[in-house]
């Protein structure tokens, strides 16, 4: 297994997909993801997620494996008239794991509901594992939890 990981890491390093600043790559990738979600562009959402059955999204205690399953679940959440994610980029923290991987931890506000009644606002903490692939940077895992603001 360690040999497999080393070979994959070497291959990724040789593709040129990893850039000098993995933290900046993670921030840019996550911003593309948020923009796609805010416009309900699920083809664009799909394009930034790792195309692998090992893609993992953990939300509300539920683990969702695979890019297609995650995109189906995301579309279910987007049935409200108002759906808007506002990341607090000033509070975001990116942590370089390697030249080909970075975690991004970002608080955000999700506004969801109807225009007539006014949307509800929820605060989440999101951690995204972003990795360099031959196709460019992709989100390999998302972990979401409610933010404790007490």
Complete domains list, the chain, with CATH: 2-146 (3.10.450.50)
pTM over 0.85: no
Please report the pLDDT score of residue 30 as a whole number: 96
- Give the residue ranges of the chain where pLDDT is below 50: 1-19
Q: What pLDDT was estimated at residue 4?
A: 37
User: What is residue 146's predicted lDDT score, i.e. its pLDDT?
Assistant: 84
Instruction: Look at strands 56-59 and 136-146 and give their pairing.
Output: parallel
What is the C-alpha separation between 41 and 38, in angstroms, rounded? 8
d(CA 66, CA 51): 8
φ and ψ of 109, to 5 deg: -115, 130
Q: Are 112 and 34 in contact (CB under 8 A)?
A: no
The pLDDT, as a whole number, for residue 77 is 85
């Amino acid at each position: 297994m360690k040999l497999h990981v080393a070979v994959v890491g070497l291959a990724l390093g040789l593709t040129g997909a990893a850039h000098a600043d993995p933290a900046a790559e993670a921030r840019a990738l996550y911003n593309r993801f948020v923009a796609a979600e805010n416009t309900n562009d699920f083809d664009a959402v799909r394009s930034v997620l790792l195309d692998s059955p090992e893609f993992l999204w953990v939300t509300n205690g539920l683990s969702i494996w695979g890019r297609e399953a995650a995109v189906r679940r995301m579309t279910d959440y987007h049935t409200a008239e108002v759906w808007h994610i506002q990341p607090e980029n000033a509070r975001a923290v990116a942590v370089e794991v390697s030249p080909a991987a970075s975690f991004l931890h970002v608080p955000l506000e999700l506004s969801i509901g109807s225009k007539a009644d006014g949307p509800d606002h929820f605060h989440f903490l999101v951690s995204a594992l972003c990795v360099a692939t031959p196709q460019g940077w992709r989100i390999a895992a998302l972990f979401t939890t409610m933010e404790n603001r007490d």
